[in-house]
A = this chain, B = another copy of it.
Amino acid sequence: MRTIRNTNAAMPGRHLTAQRRLLLDLIHSARGHIDAKELYRRASSQDASISLATVYRNLRLFQDLGLVDETRLGRTSHQYEPKRSAEHQHFVCTYCGRVIEFQTPLVDNVIERFQQEQGVKVTKTEFYLEGVCRQCGQRKEEG
């Protein structure tokens, strides 16, 4: 069980409330992605009085502080995960919802070139693939 220490280095000038500690803990231990609803469900089981508004407010805050990354996967689902140093990308299986993360330097090349050619500054990248995972592909062939 990962614990967030009691000092407030990550949120200068902010209150490190029990709710925030709980939410950060859950996001970290989710190992992968978690959406607001599921985060609320899990938080509720440990603190029955926590509200969905608090979940949303803090997800927004964590993003602003750079503690958490938001990713839009699939049609409308927003997923959250701890911030990482390396950019990484996502593949989502449209049959079972499985998420595969991957990372490739080619993406950095594309960005570098695009910035130079267009004179723009890229601050965020999202490379999203959708398709059929190995397992579901096999199941389809067999079935």
A residues near B, CB below 8 A?
A: 72, 91, 93-94, 100, 102, 104, 106-107, 109-111, 113-114, 118-134, 137
**Chain B residues, CB < 8 A from A106:** 106, 109-110
Of the A-B pairs whose beta carbons lie under 8 Å apart in the complex, a sample of 10, sorted by A's number, is A91-B114, A91-B120, A93-B120, A102-B114, A111-B129, A114-B129, A120-B132, A124-B131, A126-B129, A127-B128
Q: Give the docked Cα–Cα distance between A91 and B132 (Å).
A: 26
Give this chain's copy count: 2
Most buried by B among A104, A110, A124: A110
In the complex, which of the residues B126, B129, B134 contacts A119, with contact meaning CB atoms closer than 8 Å? B134
